[in-house]
Amino acid sequence: ARLAPRRGKRSVSMREFEDAKDKVLMGPERKSMVMSQKEKELTAWHEAGHAIVALNVPSSDPVHKATIIPRGRALGMVMQLPTDDKLSRLAILMGGRVAEEQKFGMDNVTAGAASDIQQATRLARAMVTRWGLSDSIGPIDYAEDQGEVFLGSQLVKSSHVSEETSRKIEEEVRKLVVDGM
């Protein structure tokens, strides 16, 4: 509602609702961010990779919007309307990196995929350790945030996962992320 008067309007339109939703979900536009033509092209290819995979993976969340306008900490993003298919989400997260590899080659993949890799790894780890979505690990909760106790300035963590199980978890997480590519 505050956007309308700033734009010289007397009433709120769908444009103001859409812009407000984008700001909340994707972060504020960084209008001061100046991107070179090369950065714009690379970002466009990266985000196109996310969008193409999202549009073609069965049961994935529907693509709502793709942008290369810098918002928050991201140079661009693809926004999807959420559903519950986690495997599709892994593939879509890795789609940007794959698009960069295909267009620019392995030697020219940027750090832009770092956030995607981090999100994919977190999702895969939750799939394996929390939701029991790994046949070799089974339906056991191996979440890492259990057993943490605050003692002064130290965090003491009691591990209830054997070295062998930990190795299996890492293998399963890696397999899920790589298969998502």
pLDDT digits (tens, 9 = 90+) for 117-169: 998 999 999 889 888 888 888 888 887 654 444 444 333 444 677 889 989 99
The DSSP symbol for 11 reads S
Q: What's the token pair of residue 122?
A: 């977190």
Question: How far is it, in rounded angstroms, from Cα 102 to Cα 49?
Answer: 10
The pLDDT of residue 1 is above 80: yes
How much is the pLDDT for 153?
32
Give the pLDDT confidence score for residue 18 in this predicted structure. Answer: 87
CB 103: neighbour CB atoms within 10 A?
Answer: 16
pLDDT surpassing 90 at residue 108: no
pLDDT above 50 for 63: yes
Cα separation, 112 vs 90, whole angstroms: 16
The single-letter code of the amino acid at 156 is V
What are the catalytic residues?
Answer: 47
pLDDT of residue 154: 35
Tokens of 13: 């339109």
Residue 85 has pLDDT above 70, yes or no: no
